[in-house]
């Protein structure tokens, strides 16, 4: 017995979703540059960052360590630790090194 093409003439009902539609994917937080610190004490020193819980080790006097920006205020408050300018190279300095 033939269906009389009813199958081809039938219109499917739209699929309904329950709940809200998914939004855009979450974006990663912006990347923050690390902050450089120098130890000016007489021995070695280890500091634990209160936010990241990372351990920053200054093995000798004069050691420089980069610190996550979120921990920078706490590490800077430690005696004998001072913030210094980070030694980031400009793109031009990399080019100069290639040709010298």
Return the SS3 of 76: helix
Dump pLDDT digits (tens) for 38-93: 999 999 999 999 999 999 999 999 999 999 999 999 999 999 999 998 665 555 54
pTM, two decimal places = 0.58
Name residue, tokens 């920053």: 56
- Domain assignment of residue 37, yes or no: yes
Residue 23 to residue 5: CA distance in whole angstroms: 40
Q: Given pLDDT bands bounded at 50, 70 and 90, which one contains residue 7?
A: low
Residue 80 to residue 72: CA distance in whole angstroms: 14
- Domain assignment of residue 58, yes or no: yes
Q: Specify the pLDDT at position 32.
A: 80
Identify which of 28, 30, 31, 34 has the alpha carbon closest to the alpha carbon of residue 49.
34
- Domain assignment of residue 49, yes or no: yes
**Which range marks the domain in which residue 72 is found?**
32-85
Q: Given pLDDT bands bounded at 50, 70 and 90, which one contains residue 1?
A: low
């Amino acid at each position: 017995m033939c269906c009389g093409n009813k199958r081809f003439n039938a219109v499917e009902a739209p699929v309904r979703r329950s709940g809200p539609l998914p939004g855009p994917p979450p974006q990663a937080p912006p990347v923050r540059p690390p902050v450089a610190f120098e130890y000016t004490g007489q021995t070695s020193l280890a500091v634990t960052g209160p936010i990241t819980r990372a351990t920053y080790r200054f093995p000798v006097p004069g050691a420089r360590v980069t610190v996550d920006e979120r921990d920078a205020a706490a590490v800077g408050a430690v005696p004998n630790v001072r913030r210094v300018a980070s030694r980031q190279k400009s793109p031009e300095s990399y080019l100069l090194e290639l040709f010298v």
